[in-house]
Chains A and B, each alone.
Chain A
Amino acid sequence: MEEKPLIWTTKGNLPISSLQYRHQWTETAAEITLVEEYLLGEEIVKRNVHVMLKRGAVSHIDAGGVI
């Protein structure tokens, strides 16, 4: 019996082959994002998002002068 790879969706495990897959990369100054969507007909049944932060937060610490 041939096994069909399954993937978890809003409708439970479904064969990957039954779904349409699409993805989109976007890049801004702050991040690179990959969105993956699996559709059953017109309905999105799975959406993964991967965000790579390019840069974190910085705080400046300075020594004050003596008057």
Chain B
Amino acid sequence: MANTQAMATSFKVDLLNGIHAFGTSVVRAGTTADSFKAALYLVTATMDSTATAYTATNEVSGSGYSAGGVDLTGATDWIAPTSTSTTAFSTPTASIVYTTVTLATAFDAVLIYNSTQSNKAVSVHTFGSQTVTAGTFTLTMPTNDSTNALIRLA
């Protein structure tokens, strides 16, 4: 039986659970999960992998929309991280919903960020350019598996 160089899959799950700290970390108040939010960005924004934290620059604005976006909701914000094969993954437990908003300027991206940890960025997701008029914008989450989950560490 040969040895195989690999990143432990359990380590990937642990990363999502905040278990390891290779550098300076944070003091946590407890073992509960952090809270997360979702902010929308205009098509003119440049949100990408370089995002480090929530910013109001080029965020959408309009009736019914509060700067910073909305909280992820559900019994917990995220489905408990798990893995299949060598991929760790998690997805918000519920759809992200902006209710009764008017967003007249086109937007096409959402930033997921950690509102417990200084609004640090988690991920950016894009979609077709949209506007909303006195209505609801709903982002329904993908299937929570190793192929489709909202965030995956492969």
A16 at the interface (CB under 8 A from B): no
Q: How large is the interface on B (under 10, 10 to 19, 20 to 34, 35 or more residues)?
A: 35 or more
What is the distance, in angstroms, from B128's C-beta to the closest C-beta of chain A? 6
A51–B132 alpha-carbon span in the complex (Å):
12
Chain A interface residue count, Cβ-Cβ cutoff 8 angstroms: 31
A8 at the interface (CB under 8 A from B): yes
Q: Total A-B residue pairs with C-beta atoms closer than 8 Å? A: 102
A47–B58 alpha-carbon span in the complex (Å):
22
B117 at the interface (CB under 8 A from A): no
- Chain B residues with Cβ below 8 Å from A51 are 127-128, 130, 137-140
A30–B140 alpha-carbon span in the complex (Å):
12
Quick check: A49 and B137 within 8 Å, CB to CB?
yes
- Chain A residues with Cβ below 8 Å from B135 are 36, 46-49
A30–B139 alpha-carbon span in the complex (Å):
13
Stretch at the interface among B19-27, B29-37, B68-76, B142-150: B142-150
Interface residues of A (CB under 8 A from B): 8-10, 26, 28, 30-31, 33, 35-36, 44-63, 65
